[in-house]
Amino acid sequence: MAMTIAAVAHDQKKAALADWVHRHQEQLRPHHLIATATTGSVIRKMVPGLDIRTVKSGPLGGDQQIGAMIADGLIDLLVFFPDPLTPMPHDVDVKALLRLALVYDVPCAFNPHSADLIVASRMLAPRPA
């Protein structure tokens, strides 16, 4: 059964997230990917054949859109590469997204290593419908 995976990255981390998606594109291909707009465009450039739906950019409400999907039970995994060293003007939205992921017990990866561990756990392996 396909999972819905949300992908979000701050500016300085977008390349790292796109690289992670590229390295794991075969494991991600059977799933539904949703990304914020700019992150999604960076991923599409690196992995052009991967189907990815985008929402608004983070500062324009994309983090809130993904948060709403989490609250509605539509997101199975959040892969979010934040940049802890750069101040974000939409920090409140980011905190709300993280709070919702915690409240609704959504598995999260916040860097390439933790995201690799999720892949290694076989969480993304195809499951019977």
* pLDDT tens-digit series, residues 48-94: 999 999 999 988 999 999 999 999 999 999 999 998 888 777 788 88
* Residue 107 φ then ψ, to 5°: -60, 140
| Distances in whole angstroms, Cα of residue 98 to Cα of each of 78, 104, 127 | 9, 10, 27
Beta strands in 1-129 (DSSP E): 4-9, 32-36, 52-55, 77-81, 108-109
Q: Annotated catalytic residue: which of 11, 19, 51, 63?
A: 63
Assess whether pLDDT exceeds 80 at residue 128.
Answer: no
Pick from 28, 34, 21: nearest CA to 125: 28
pTM of the entire structure? 0.94
> What mean pLDDT is reported for the chain?
94
| Distances in whole angstroms, Cα of residue 126 to Cα of each of 2, 16, 35, 73 | 7, 25, 21, 20
Domains annotated for the chain, with CATH where assigned, are: 4-120 (3.40.50.1380)
Sign of CA dihedral 103, 66, 127, 116: negative
Provide the pLDDT for residue 87.
76
Active-site residue flag, 63: yes
